[in-house]
Amino acid sequence: MNYKYQNFSCHDDYKTIIDYLDKNLVYPFKDKKVRLMIVNNTNDNLLSVFNEIFLHANIIKLNDLSLIFYVDDYFDLTDIIMSVSLDLGLNFKVNNGIYITRALNNKTILEYISFVNNYFKITTEVVSDLVSMLQNNVKDYQEYFKINILPLIIKDTLTKDLVLVYFNNDLNVLKTSKKLYMNRNSLINKLDLIYKSTGVNLQKFSHAATIYMLLLADRTRYEDN
């Protein structure tokens, strides 16, 4: 990707963000964690609307893409995106993607942007997420996901056991909590925490099914000894 940046609206320092993306310099955001949303349109009216929706967002144009770094409020974007598209009479696609923290390097972010840019060219989805590309077998993305995102879901033995029991009980929270001798609300909180730290919602069937198939494909790593 040939990098050509343009500042649209930045709550944080624009130059520091670009240095972070280009040179992996200091983490540029005031918030400890931000989510990256990518849009295949750089229309200023569109970005103005997003700037109002996501308060304190950092919006940067990268070639023909718009990068929106925002603090996630965990709401469903689909209705909002459809409404904005109709109101402005614009066609565009949105990918609600990875979370960015100090632990993430610039190469990982730029690789993700490249995957999304290629995905936009082949998908008819208006709103996609980081699991959508797994479901559609985007070239090399599965390996990227296994290296950079899956370890955030299956980060320790306790979480691994919770996830596998949850899958084996057909995503039934009550059955899973009983099997694990865990309070139902505690289980839901654990699943919510996975979602809020990765963007993968295991309470959503399409996400859970995709992750389950991914774990099955790598059974030797995740099965119980």
pLDDT cut 70: percent of the chain above it = 94
Query: What is the rounded distance in angstroms from the CA atom of residue 95 to the CA atom of residue 114?
Result: 12
- Fill in the amino acid letter for 77: L
Q: Are residues 165 and 99 in the same domain?
A: no
The domain boundary residue, chosen from 72, 98, 129: 129
143-167 mean pLDDT: 91
Q: Are residues 22 and 89 in the same domain?
A: yes
Model confidence at 56, in pLDDT bands (50, 70, 90)? Answer: confident
Q: Are residues 107 and 207 in the same domain?
A: no
How many residues comprise the chain?
225
Query: What is the rounded distance in angstroms from the CA atom of residue 131 to the CA atom of residue 112?
Result: 12
Beta bridge partners of 6: 61
End-to-end CA distance of the chain: 43
pLDDT in tens, 64-117: 999 999 997 666 788 889 999 999 999 999 999 999 999 999 999 999 999 999
Model confidence at 201, in pLDDT bands (50, 70, 90)? Answer: very high
The strand ranges marked E within 108-209 are 127-129
Query: What is the rounded distance in angstroms from the CA atom of residue 74 to the CA atom of residue 219?
Result: 31
The first and second tokens of residue 70, run together, are 């925002």
219: pLDDT strictly greater than 70? no
CA torsion sign for 70, 126, 193, 221 is negative
Q: Which of 28, 8, 32 is nearest to 19 (CA)?
A: 28
Q: Are residues 58 and 89 in the same domain?
A: yes
Model confidence at 225, in pLDDT bands (50, 70, 90)? Answer: very low
Q: Are residues 91 and 173 in the same domain?
A: no
More confident site: 77 or 209: 209
Q: Which domain holds residue 160?
A: 150-222
Q: Which of 122, 125, 150 is nearest to 137 (CA)?
A: 122
The domain boundary residue, chosen from 94, 129, 164: 129
Query: What is the rounded distance in angstroms from the CA atom of residue 93 to the CA atom of residue 38?
Result: 8
Q: Are residues 180 and 71 in the same domain?
A: no
The pLDDT value given to residue 208: 93
Ranges 22-26, 70-74, 117-121: which has the least confidence = 70-74
Q: Are residues 59 and 21 in the same domain?
A: yes
**What residues contact 176, with CB distance under 8 A and at least 6 apart?**
162, 165, 166, 169, 182, 187
48: pLDDT strictly greater than 90? yes
8: pLDDT strictly greater than 70? yes
Query: What is the rounded distance in angstroms from the CA atom of residue 62 to the CA atom of residue 42?
Result: 9
Q: Are residues 21 and 73 in the same domain?
A: yes
11-19 mean pLDDT: 96
pTM of structure: 0.91
Assess if residue 201 is contained within a domain. Answer: yes
Assess if residue 145 is contained within a domain. Answer: no
31-56 mean pLDDT: 94
Q: Are residues 96 and 185 in the same domain?
A: no
223: pLDDT strictly greater than 70? no
Q: Are residues 156 and 79 in the same domain?
A: no
Domain count, the chain: 2
Distance of CA 218 to the CA centre of its chain: 22
Query: What is the rounded distance in angstroms from the CA atom of residue 183 to the CA atom of residue 181?
Result: 7
